[in-house]
Structure 1
């Protein structure tokens, strides 16, 4: 009997060890998607045109995931042009190979497919994806990427009755090919033709199907993103206040707003409680800082309410002021956004446990945007450099050790040229060397009469200040060094500056760009090259096996892989 018991104990021990080993090796959950990217006829402003659809949809399919999930998206390019998709705001830790910009990846050629694989590591919040190639963004191809907190991580508000994704943006009735031809010809694409809400546009009094439905007494989460080409917008909901709870991956102090400015490329979440008379109400979206305002409305319907035709234009919320007064109004609203220091993030530690204001700045980069003519054609630049994509992605030539054949580092200085030379523009690939794990300060100075919006891939940053006028070191006294929102985009108002701070601790090549796509296409962007000194897998992943090769590296031998 004793021998038999010993055998049972040994067998049980083996089972326990095996289960333990499986648990140690267990990965975070996987979510799989298969997308067909095609052309299709759409009419956001009532004019039929060729749009870009994903699985026949605009907006495209929603990626609804949880922090730390692995996302696998098999993309079939059925367009007649090369295609890339980027995951706007997803940090892609150690993995710029999946970033989906022309500087990091070879495009998905027509008739082929590519499988993206990335992890939403230690992130929560509201994000979106869109095509970065050519002017494809002007024709659609966008959709939601919503990242929820894990069950063990509390969120600072009660679970809503439902969640809705709202995509707002300006729209052109000319398709992306016509707009690209205009820019290639040296001219601006000009003023947009209208504004859409989730690919539809209506005016007050139109008989339209409701965009969203609410039950009286319940609270709903609206994840709102500006996916337009160039226009800041303001959103407001008739008869209902909006409680801001999240912005670009960070929980915020929960202030109430009658209306919110949302600039190009930005996302936020608001809670709306259905506490009014059960009928239809208007969501109103209008342009900001355009000489001739454009707007659109959508219907929010109460279930079991009065239904179709019950929405009235009476008591519509007042739009914010425009021009100089409107800029001051919008700046003040920006200052009201605060990080919720008591809320947990994607991990069980409070967001405010990261004391960014106590870190010494190791590098300051001042950037001035400009608009110029080069050989009679329109170009946009940063510090006098207008970026031009190379035939081979920057990330690949650097990885294969042949960067010198494609670009020079640091053609753009850390300081802008003198004001007299600011419009003297050099067209070249724009790559800045950065030191791994340095804490940097970036100042954006806008000397133009139009608003700007910038986005940084691979990181979140602290938006510590926005003010009118010119920046100087004394302005640091006015920075918010306690509870500035950690986010990935920042607006810069006309004749104003904005300051951000971040730690460049994510190895790879990462795009800092204008999110206003005309400016982006014509050069207002650059790449940070953040190299890991140790070439270690602890800092950066190797080139994926399925990653296509193109340009000068296509027939080159593979470089030695990174080691653990």
Structure 2
């Protein structure tokens, strides 16, 4: 906090890299510890923040500056990422091992970032080791400023619903499984806000609703392996926001929420006043894992019905749901102009990257790869090595090609740091092909992209005729079904080192991710990218090197 007292402009830029005159600050202190909890009825070590699981909600407003002082009281290094928050010009705060040295046990680090020109529903989680399987996650909401119209009436209340699959094995045990070449196997259950419902009418209500009132439920899949379907007994859900974008307000009986994805729905208390179940269950698994949370009408009487509403069956329904998602082109976003004023469908594609996932054994151990390259994190974070001008001591650019060579991704897997160069302000098309029998979900940090297509089969250039080039939702995750493909489009205009990763934790840990290095031409300016924060810890080969000259305006 001492650097706040420094009145020099450039020092402020270096200390609080997201300073914006007149924009409010939100300050948090997090103590991260283990606690013995029983999310599935079995005592185990869970990562808690300020003794909370899930962690504290960050309730912010567009352009707020967020300052979080994290004290790591675990016995392992730790990092947090802010899934979906676009760190404009500021990958130093992204919190991945490719951008940051982790916080050592017993130490602290202060994250400082701005939710610039954003609204919507996001969440945070730890990125180190397999910590995400032990908790440490929470909601990050960005509300619209008072002067910006929202395309729905202000709800009576705003509820957080963090749903995900869960293992009763500790994250240490799960890590040992992967390190010795095995798979994680099937999760043990599903939890909602850290709990599994008993489904016998004895659970205390998690949510309450006043008859006749409408409520906003912010739903995120924070799990590690499975897609989930969510639904509410006797009620429909009106979709109003998806990962930072207002949507066409379709009404659904249930929603498939894939790993890493967040939805906001409106639910009206228009049924007989009594209890109802919020239901979450796994999708596309041999047998469903199910959990419930009780919703109680204020003044109501009577338990929830024992019979739960069924989830949809099969893949076709889920494909149809994706195609029904549309951007609300008339709604304002974080700024007064409409969301749809950005006509992405009229921009010429300057680069196509086709990413084909694969898996195989290397040295007898399971690895996952993209275009034949399985990523590992070097001792020196990629971004730091690049900043200090010694990238060759940590990685090589471009060992992965823009598409698999010869179309074969299974013959060889190369284990190495996977970094590609992104030409500043290129308009890029990225194709994800899933040749496996299980789901994939991909997340791109630092950007929102247009999810223009998801289809079965293999992608070819002729498939572009099926793209939605008018009102595809601007978002940060995309699901890829088994033996299917997905296409996204975005402008690479955010300088930094950005992670493109699968959200399946096992696949991610075993190599299915990469980094996109985006640098403006010529000398880096503070107009393009913030400088290395003064409080950034150093590690690896750069630890004892002289610091490069700071960026200037």
What TM-score, normalized by structure 2, do the two folds share?
0.95
1:44 corresponds to 2:46: no
Q: CA deviation at 1:291?
A: 1.1
CA distance change for structure 1 residues 79 and 501 in 2, over 3 Å: closer, same or farther? same
Q: CA deviation at 1:204?
A: 2.5
1:412 corresponds to 2:405: no
**Is contact 1:258-1:317 (8 Å) kept?**
no
1:147 alignment partner, SS class:
strand
Of 166, 170, 181, the match for 2:165: 170
**Contiguous gaps of at least 5 residues in structure 1:** 1-23
The aligned residue for residue 392 of structure 1 is: 380
The aligned residue for residue 7 of structure 2 is: none
Q: Deviations over 1:96-145 (max 9, x none)?
A: 00000000000000000000000000000000000000000000000010
Q: Deviations over 1:252-296 (max 9, x none)?
A: 000000000000000010000000111000111110011121111
4+ runs of 1 displaced by more than 4 Å? Answer: none
1:464 corresponds to 2:459: no
Q: CA deviation at 1:556?
A: 0.5
Paired residues for 1:347-496 under 5 Å: 347-496=335-484
Q: Deviations over 1:218-259 (max 9, x none)?
A: 000000000000100000000000000000000000000000
1:398 alignment partner, SS class:
helix
**Is contact 2:433-2:486 (8 Å) kept?**
yes
1:498 corresponds to 2:486: yes
2:405 alignment partner, SS class:
coil
The aligned residue for residue 287 of structure 1 is: 282
**Is contact 2:359-2:410 (8 Å) kept?**
no
Q: CA deviation at 1:330?
A: 0.2
Query: Root-mean-square deviation (CA), in Å?
Result: 1.1
**In 1, Cα distance between equivalents of 2:450 and 2:37:** 38
**In 1, Cα distance between equivalents of 2:147 and 2:20:** 21
**Contiguous gaps of at least 5 residues in structure 2:** 1-18
Q: CA deviation at 1:422?
A: 2.5
**In 2, Cα distance between equivalents of 1:55 and 1:370:** 40
Q: CA deviation at 1:319?
A: 1.3
The aligned residue for residue 14 of structure 1 is: none
What TM-score, normalized by structure 1, do the two folds share?
0.94
**In 2, Cα distance between equivalents of 1:545 and 1:395:** 15
**Is contact 2:358-2:409 (8 Å) kept?**
no
Q: CA deviation at 1:42?
A: 1.2
**Is contact 2:371-2:409 (8 Å) kept?**
no
**Is contact 1:171-1:228 (8 Å) kept?**
yes
**In 2, Cα distance between equivalents of 1:26 and 1:228:** 38
The aligned residue for residue 194 of structure 1 is: 189
1:51 alignment partner, SS class:
strand
Q: CA deviation at 1:313?
A: 2.2
Q: CA deviation at 1:424?
A: 1.1
1:334 corresponds to 2:327: no
1:540 corresponds to 2:529: yes
Q: Deviations over 1:311-370 (max 9, x none)?
A: 1124x423100xxxx111100000000000000010000000000000000000000001
Aligned residue pairs, count: 534
Q: CA deviation at 1:530?
A: 0.2
**Is contact 2:242-2:475 (8 Å) kept?**
yes
